[in-house]
Chain A
């Protein structure tokens, strides 16, 4: 594949770069990370008219080479390092024709790196609607590059663009824009000489950004540092002078190539929409209505596909039991692998739905308005306006919500959002809450219409919101970040969503989840299965022997015996032994070893608590039998005191424990994937478990 042309897409955010990338590469795209960082790298292939194929790399959108976020640093890393695996042979610069002046600032910087470049002039339709007339050929002559007018959304001009890519020159043709060496003549000369840099602008950029670039050796860094102090280089002053110089050049170029025929007094469509959507009353009403719709859909629309996936696995389990020879292998496949797999695939509908909505909100331009409206409140607790959607999504499931934090550019805001989202009461906590509430809270009405059980449930939801806010605020104080927080943000014009882009986003997010988080979830499920199916040798045989005796077979029906066997086996399994081992630790919270087992097994997923309780108290668990789990649990007595196990104090202590504890391997897996380090999931697990322990301890000791 050495014949492949490496093409990088570079451009401003909202310039349609991603749309063009999707149009060019379709389903051939792969998503990975740039080497050494957590920034998403999108890559794909496109076929050129001359039958070569081009490897297309979508670099993060940026407004200039002076980066505001970690994502943007990648651009310089990829373009300045000739040895980088993503260093392109050709740059396709995607420019928004309706906003040419600002877009050309980055173009003029990129052009000075002396890599062959062509311009894809996107959104020509929007520009002409806004009364902007561009003399494309004239502009191309002035800049010395090919310019291809396209409309990425409509798929117009794509063939011409591919033709231009295949015919592009392998040497740079662009004219220089500003006199770069004059910005810092001695410094640029010294860096070029000592580091063997061919182009002045690359040398200048090294002086600005060498600390952040990954490809420089420590001697090179030291040398640059020496040169900088030798010539007393003032980075910010130089950036300001450069930016003004580039805009002067751009104004000259655009003076007789772009004409504006619009009536400046005319109110734009986007402005009129904004009058409603960011209105001080309607703005919030509409926003909460949209959130309500998303929340409802994640619950309601996913119900049917989720039960379909569930019944598929029930069917596969049946088939497995029928055709696999009974034994450890069948148990491993069915109760370990298959159960783990269903635990992964069950999330697909919720992930797909949440990402469909997020993609629509992003695509239409509404998300920036949400950020605009919410920024002030969210900033107070250390979050950003963009944190609101992941946090609301957390009510359904933390897993897709944490994936969706990628929309938050600021690193610190994103980390805090990831850290607090699992505190929000997710849908997997609901079975635990409803079971426990139904046991200890009377089904009575206050003032004739307020249901006590409803109040208890609502209190748990409110608790989750308050705890997320408090923890976010604490983390805002603790986490240090060198990034200065900016909110200088483009508000893109409103547009219709691109439906194939919505589908592609759903597909990509589901795929990333299944293949990356899925591996970890299945592994842990298998471990949990082993722990709860095996015990120290001898114990299980003894149980089998005990229950196969004739006297017991006469006394009880066969079904009851098998339940008694499995309940006694669980007690003697490694999980059971661990439950007993942790009993002294959890006793102050009011939990016995049986609850200890459930705490361990429900680490796979919180709702497993109900199933484990059912197994321990030996009833078959399904929804219709919830009442009987309840009855069994209610009648359970403490063998030492003879008092009921599940008192009000125990039930509330347990609910509070589930509210705070990180009882979810899927969430840990996804946090690992999104932060690419075990540090964050470890911190999260530690703080949530500590919080859960202390809160449960207080609740139990107070209510006891």
Chain B
């Protein structure tokens, strides 16, 4: 299951990443394996999405979210 497939309100725990370069940026922003993520909302036009991770809100594009594999 990819993060991009979650619906608003759903949550999950990060398992791994599929893109090394992207994973570095994501980890810098607090998206680490083992962290839990809540999908807060999807932008009105369907992209990007907003998530809550380690206590704050983060927005990312869907294709970026698709590199995060959830447990």
Residues of chain A at the chain B interface (Cβ within 8 Å): 63-64, 66, 68, 98-99, 101-102, 105, 130, 132, 236-237, 239-240, 243-244, 247, 260, 270-271, 274-275, 278-280, 283-284, 368, 372-373, 375-377, 484, 486-493
Contacts and interface: CB of A to CB of B under 8 A. Distances in A.
Contacts, number: 105
Contact of A270 (B20, B27, B48, B57): B57
Contacts of A270: 57
A376 B30 CA distance: 24
A240 B43 contact: no
A240 B46 CA distance: 30
B27 A373 contact: no
B58 to A, nearest CB: 6
A686 B70 CA distance: 51
A42 to B, nearest CB: 24
Interface in B9-57: 20-21, 23-30, 32-33, 40-41, 43-48, 50, 54-57
A102 B48 contact: no
A484 B45 CA distance: 23
B64 A377 contact: no
Contacts of B66: none
Contact of B60 (A244, A278, A488): A488
Contacts of A375: 43, 47-48, 61
A66 B59 contact: no
Nearest to B61: A487
Residue of A101, A368, A377, A493 contacting most chain B CB atoms (<10 Å): A101
Given A240-B24, A368-B59, A487-B59, A102 B29 contact: yes
A488 B32 contact: no
A116 B32 CA distance: 29
A490 B27 CA distance: 13
Contacts of B40: 271, 274
Nearest to A491: B57
Contacts of A130: 55
Contact of A490 (B21, B41, B45, B58): B58
A270 B57 CA distance: 10
Nearest to A106: B28
For the complex of A and B, the 10 pairs showing the least CB-CB separation, nearest first, are: A280-B44, A491-B57, A376-B45, A64-B28, A102-B30, A487-B61, A243-B27, A376-B47, A488-B60, A63-B28
A98 B54 CA distance: 10
Nearest to A377: B45
Contact of B23 (A64, A240, A280): A240
30 contacts: A63-B28, A63-B29, A66-B24, A102-B56, A236-B24, A240-B24, A244-B33, A274-B40, A274-B41, A274-B50, A275-B41, A278-B44, A284-B44, A372-B48, A372-B50, A373-B45, A375-B43, A376-B47, A377-B45, A486-B25, A486-B64, A487-B48, A487-B64, A488-B25, A488-B26, A488-B29, A490-B57, A490-B58, A491-B58, A493-B57
A340 B10 CA distance: 61
Contacts of B59: 368, 372, 487-491
Contacts of B64: 486-488
Nearest to A248: B32
Contacts of B47: 375-376
Given A274-B41, A278-B43, A490-B29, 19 more contacts: A63-B28, A98-B55, A99-B56, A102-B28, A236-B20, A236-B21, A243-B28, A244-B33, A247-B27, A260-B55, A274-B57, A278-B50, A279-B44, A376-B46, A488-B59, A489-B59, A490-B57, A490-B58, A491-B58
A15 B63 CA distance: 27
A275 B50 CA distance: 12
B24 A239 contact: yes
Nearest to B20: A236
Nearest to A243: B27
B50 A490 contact: no
A373 B24 contact: no
A247 B32 contact: yes
A368 B27 CA distance: 21
A130 B54 CA distance: 13
Given A64-B28, A278-B43, A488-B26, A240 B57 contact: no
B62 to A, nearest CB: 9
Residue of A270, A375, A484, A491 contacting most chain B CB atoms (<10 Å): A491
Contacts of B55: 98-99, 101, 130, 132, 260
Given A488-B29, A488-B60, A372 B43 contact: yes
Nearest to A65: B28
A493 B26 CA distance: 20
Contact of A376 (B24, B48, B56): B48
Contacts of B29: 63, 102, 488, 490
